[in-house]
Amino acid sequence: MIKELWQYVASSTELPVAKQMGFLKEAIAMGARSKRCQRQWDAHYLRCKQTIFAATQRAVQKRTVLIFGAGSLNDIPLSYLSSQFFKVVLVDLVFLKPARRMASNYSNIELIEHDVTESLEWLCQGQTLVQSPFMWLDDSSIDLVISLNLITQLPLIPVRWLMNEFDLSESEADIVGKQLIFAHLRYLKQFSGEVCLIADRVDIELDSQGVELDRFDPWWDVEQPKADIHWEWEVMPLGESSASKSQKNVIGVSTL
């Protein structure tokens, strides 16, 4: 806990909204959780890396690869991408020091702190305006785009922020959540290279015996593109957030 607090104080972000709205705190908490749940999370990271490996092989040319939601970089085959592509562009709102250190080993890997919704400045001020993102759409050197365990995360912090800070009603919050997911999907579809979407499709809560208690649609009822490959991610093993409940997410991969 003290280590995480120190990490929070010592971390800087290029985007003030990332700290203000709570994304930096969440990135630090997620780093700590990934260490506590290493065995379960490593299996998921491996599947992500294999998926990126396969998508790279489908890319017709290998000039630039763009990854949204790069975060810890733990689910990205860095050496492989660095050797295959002329340029590797990794995007997230927040990059912590361990990720910066890893990326600094490769001269052609660039980390960019950027809001992929291009809407957080508005949402942070309580204005429920969801924009259509356009960054990189005019870059014709992008041959592969990966959206990496990101799309269902986009609404979570902004919607909570709007409800807590600006008394947004549940029905208004629901519209913002849907718009953020829909806008990201539409954005991805506008790239002309190979586009691969890795995302959770259903989140399942289990009791201590592994019996299903409940399941949630993390897409806020937005229609999901068909997934060609699936796997299960034990995201919250028993004891992580509760002694009597665990959570697994079904991850799906779509080519858009």
- Ramachandran sector of residue 2 (left: φ over 0; alpha: ψ -120 to 50; beta: rest): alpha
Q: Quick one: which of 40, 64, 117, 179 contacts ligand SAM (CB under 6 A)?
A: 117
Q: Of 23 and 187, which has the nearer Cβ to ligand SAM?
A: 23
Which residue's beta carbon is nearest to the bound ligand SAM? Answer: 71
We find the least distance from the C-beta atom of residue 28 to ligand SAM, in angstroms, to be 11
Look up residue 253 and give its two tokens: 């991969």
Q: Of 112 and 175, which has the nearer Cβ to ligand SAM?
A: 112
Element holding 2 (H helix, E strand): helix 2-10
Query: Cβ contacts of residue 42 below 8 Å, gap of 6+?
Result: none
If one counts every other C-beta atom within 10 angstroms of the C-beta of residue 70, the result is 26
Residue 199 interacts with ligand SAM (CB under 6 A): yes or no: no
Contacts 24+ apart (CB under 8 A), 10-15: 10/97, 11/94, 11/96, 11/97, 13/93, 13/94, 13/113, 14/113, 15/93, 15/113, 15/114, 15/115, 15/120
Euclidean distance between CA atoms 229 and 255, whole angstroms: 10
We find the least distance from the C-beta atom of residue 32 to ligand SAM, in angstroms, to be 12
Residue 153 interacts with ligand SAM (CB under 6 A): yes or no: yes
For residues 48 and 252, is the Cβ–Cβ distance under 8 A? no
Residue 196 interacts with ligand SAM (CB under 6 A): yes or no: no
Residue 154 interacts with ligand SAM (CB under 6 A): yes or no: yes
| Candidates 52-60, 68-76, 139-147, 205-213; binding stretch for ligand SAM (CB under 6 A) | 68-76
Residue 249 interacts with ligand SAM (CB under 6 A): yes or no: no
Q: Quick one: which of 150, 173, 188, 206 contacts ligand SAM (CB under 6 A)?
A: 150
For residues 253 and 197, is the Cβ–Cβ distance under 8 A? yes
Q: Pattern of binders to ligand SAM over 70-109, x per CB under 6 A? A: xxx-xx----------------xxx---------------
Using CB under 6 A as the criterion, which residues of the chain lie in contact with ligand SAM when the complex forms?
A: 23, 27, 69-72, 74-75, 92-94, 115-117, 120, 148-150, 153-154
